[in-house]
Structure 1
């Protein structure tokens, strides 16, 4: 009886100790991406890349975010430059993100930023935070 109890205890401990590893393994199967760019025209190849990765990754495609920062940040307020990119990003489920530090530094009114573009206070910090969460990162 003691032997059965010991073996049962060991099996239960082994099963419960494997659960966190399985949860981490499942999460690792999801591919998340973040791209930091300084130029709005680069959104075209970035969104093409997102589209291809979404097809390639299939069910493992997770989150894709594009952080826009730098001296050309005002371009995001120009509907002529942004409409097609915003539409394609929404279609693909890509989140466009504006760097608040850049908006402030280059005097861009946050009210002029399209509603579909998320604003974060510091795009570089936000990029590092996503990398710490396991996002694959690229800066252009």
Structure 2
């Protein structure tokens, strides 16, 4: 009888602990977004998309990152339209990164790009790392 009470108590505590940890894991998480782009002309529709997702997600809206890579980095320096759009990304709390490998391949140094762009050593690798952290990803 004593063993039965101990076994039932242990079983009850195990079930309670499992249920509690499952309910904590089901707590609503933030929706984080990542766009890997090879075309800086896409920044304007990206801004519109981020704005709509922020409205749609409400409190569940998390981070929104854009990684620019490829030959399009050649068009960043002194591109007034792009710089204007970058200012809007700051207002919308969107982080824009540029791939360091792409900059190196195009012989562009960090001081040649707008200061509100962040450089990531390897844009593709960083994209995969963000996906592993749960970011919803799209490549355009």
TM-score w.r.t. length of structure 2: 0.86
Q: Please tell me whether Structure 1 or Structure 2 has the larger radius of gyration of its CA atoms.
A: 2
Stretches of structure 1 that go unaligned for 5 or more consecutive residues are none
Shift of 1:70: 0.8
Q: 1:20 to 1:120 in 2, by over 3 A?
A: farther
Q: What is the CA RMSD across the aligned residues, in angstroms?
A: 2.0
Per-residue deviation at 1:100?
0.5
Output one character per residue of 1:18-69: Cα deviation in whole Å (capped at 9) or x when no partner.
3443343226x32111101111111000110000000000011111100001
What displacement does 1:9 show?
2.7
Task: Provide, for residues 1-31 of structure 1, a one-character-per-residue CA deviation record: whole Å limited to 9, x for no partner.
Answer: 845544433232222223443343226x321
Residue 134 of structure 1 pairs with residue 134 of structure 2:
yes
Residue matched to 2:34: 34
TM-score by length of 1: 0.86
Larger mean Cα displacement after TM superposition, 81-90 or 48-57: 81-90
Comparing 46-55 with 5-14, which one deviates more in the overlay? 5-14
Residue matched to 1:81 = 81
The ranges of structure 1 where at least 4 consecutive aligned residues each deviate by more than 3 angstroms after the TM superposition are 1-8
Unmatched 5+ stretches in structure 2 = none
Q: How many positions carry a matched residue from both structures?
A: 139
